[in-house]
Chains A and B, each alone.
Chain A
Amino acid sequence: MMTNSRDAQPPGLMRDEPPVQSLQEPPRDAAATSDGRAGQSAGMSGPPPVTVVDRSLEGVTASGRPPRGGNPWERLALGLLGVAIVVAVYTLVATLGIKNNAIMPTPSRIFSTGVRNLSNGTIPDAIWASLKRVLAGYAIGSAAGIVIGTSMGWFKRIEYLISPLVEAIRPIPGLAFVPLVILWFGIGETSKVIVIAEAAFVVSVVNARAGMKEVANTYVEAAETLGASRLQVFYSVALPCAVPYLFAGLRISLAVSWATLVAAELIAAQQGLGYLLQEGSQFFQTDLVMVVIVFIGALATVMDQILKRIQRRVTRWAEVKR
């Protein structure tokens, strides 16, 4: 077996060497080497010029840099450690310093409050009420944002027509519309859905438009010389090109939708997570407030992860290796 070439050479020297494959492959493929193992990404044009068969080199890229992901266990352990430190400090302050459950409830008390409110249906009901609003507003807002944003990004006249309106509402925080919407639509569900939809719309319209501006000219010209009309180029080239941008917009606008929802519920609601926060705060139930905060975070994370999965599915063509 060979010796570990990481030991044989100073690492700095290796880092200066370009990936072996970059001489053979265009830069697109060279990116593959940052994820793959040494010598694995020489493509179909033949065996790589240098193949290092050495177990000790696993996880080392051709450029000598450690892989970007790092050791997943180390990552997990340190991440848990960070959380544990914060919880420990909080517990110390709460039990030894403040000693007042109304202001700083102990972790165990927060936990039991959480369990109680889960089992008696308070939290599930609130989640359900909030989820309906978020999903409705988010779906309406981002769908409209994508349709209008992509059209604006592609068709000059639509851009001219709509961009002053978008630019006018863009800097206004979504919540600034709450009083007006309440005047017009009352304090029912419609109002909250409208406010959330507006917030989601602004984010996704901007991202969708930006995505269309980034469509590589080569693809457009290739499609045109293959006989595609402007409309055909729009849906068969520009839209798929913009998918990464559309998803970026979808994920940001999801976060914005949550933020808007909670704020809107703080202002006017009889149910929902924001309402529960408000209620907990009014009755000095700090433990309930904290439980609700945790659930809001968890729900937003879960939904973002779902979106991420969908994104990965839809953009599988862009992945480097199978």
Chain B
Amino acid sequence: MSGPVTSAMPADVSGQGIAISLVDVRHEYVRTRRSDRLEALGRTSLDIARNSFVSFVGPSGCGKSTLLRIVAGLVTPTEGSVLVEGETVRGPDAKRGMVFQQDAVFPWLTVRRNVAYGPRMRGVPRRERQRAADEWISLVGLGAFAQSYPKELSGGMRKRVDLARSYAADPDVLLMDEPFGALDALTREQMQLELLRLWEERRKTVLFVTHDLEEALLLSDAVVVMTARPSRIHAVEINNFPRPRRPELRSDPAFVEARQRLDELLTSGSGHGPTFTTN
């Protein structure tokens, strides 16, 4: 694949307009030790519909995480710009929440104070932010653990805290960088359903990077398949399974077929054979 690829999500994905626009975004990392540059993300343009759930899949080491970090404002792209809700991204902001693969729950704060962290930074009065935090804590099923410290929770529970904390900061868009990648298979499935439920109840624009094709298909409205480095958009699969979705969807013939198609797209997009494997 060569030349810039411009993809626009069909408006019918959510029918609510565009939330995120990537305009000719390109990124190179400078490798100081070898004093050369590594193009992580080839020139990419993409529009993402408001309140849609969009997954990014691609070979390991392709620029999907870079793309997400650019949208978050944690990385400044070498070229191009990102517009989120009409504003150009210039650095991290509460409007663009992020959930990381690593455990990012603050171990020195209780669950409640973790979830209330975003509002606290915004200067929301104590009582108000605690009420908001408690609501989110019970929404992710951790009501009994509001006063616990993260050390006392399992990995899956900490991920719930992380989700609740991101939601409680009330961002315009939520960016998730392989959020369940470090969890065991069973917990991961539970968390996928948890996120599915949460998102279907409280719609938000979500960009979701994953290695797990089933995860991508189960959760998203559209799956963006990226090529190997320098990463570009290889294909965009619109994913119209009706909502609310149930875990049984995984065994639906149409789902299995869609998964196969994604697999083939990945293989053709990775350039040098099937380097991509799924669990």
Contacts and interface: CB of A to CB of B under 8 A. Distances in A.
Interface of A: 23-26, 28-29, 43-45, 218-219, 221-229, 232, 236-237, 240-241, 243, 315-322
Question: Most chain-A Cβ atoms within 10 A of its Cβ — which of B106, B108, B150?
Answer: B108
B108 A221 contact: no
Interface stretch (B13-21, B44-52, B153-161, B204-212): B153-161
Interface in B163-193: 165-166, 169, 171, 175, 182-184, 186-187
Given A317-B149, A319-B151, A226 B107 contact: no
B107 A45 contact: no
B230 interface: no
Interface stretch (B26-34, B114-122, B232-240, B252-260): B114-122
A226 B121 contact: yes
A43 B186 CA distance: 14
A318 B154 contact: no
A157 B93 CA distance: 23
A25 B154 contact: yes
A45 B100 contact: no
B96 interface: yes
B100 to A, nearest CB: 6
Nearest to B118: A226
B187 A219 contact: no
B100 A222 contact: yes
Interface of B: 72-74, 92-94, 96-98, 100, 102-104, 106-109, 117-118, 120-122, 149-157, 165-166, 169, 171, 175, 182-184, 186-187
B121 A228 contact: yes
B155 A29 contact: yes
Nearest to A24: B184
B151 A236 contact: no
Nearest to B174: A225
A221 B96 CA distance: 12
B187 A45 contact: yes
Contacts of A321: 151-152
Contacts of B169: 226-227
B107 A43 contact: no
A317 B98 contact: no
B151 A317 contact: yes
Contacts of A227: 93-94, 118, 121-122, 169
Nearest to B98: A225
B107 A221 contact: no
B128 to A, nearest CB: 16
Nearest to A28: B103
A162 B49 CA distance: 50
Most buried by A among B73, B96, B102: B102
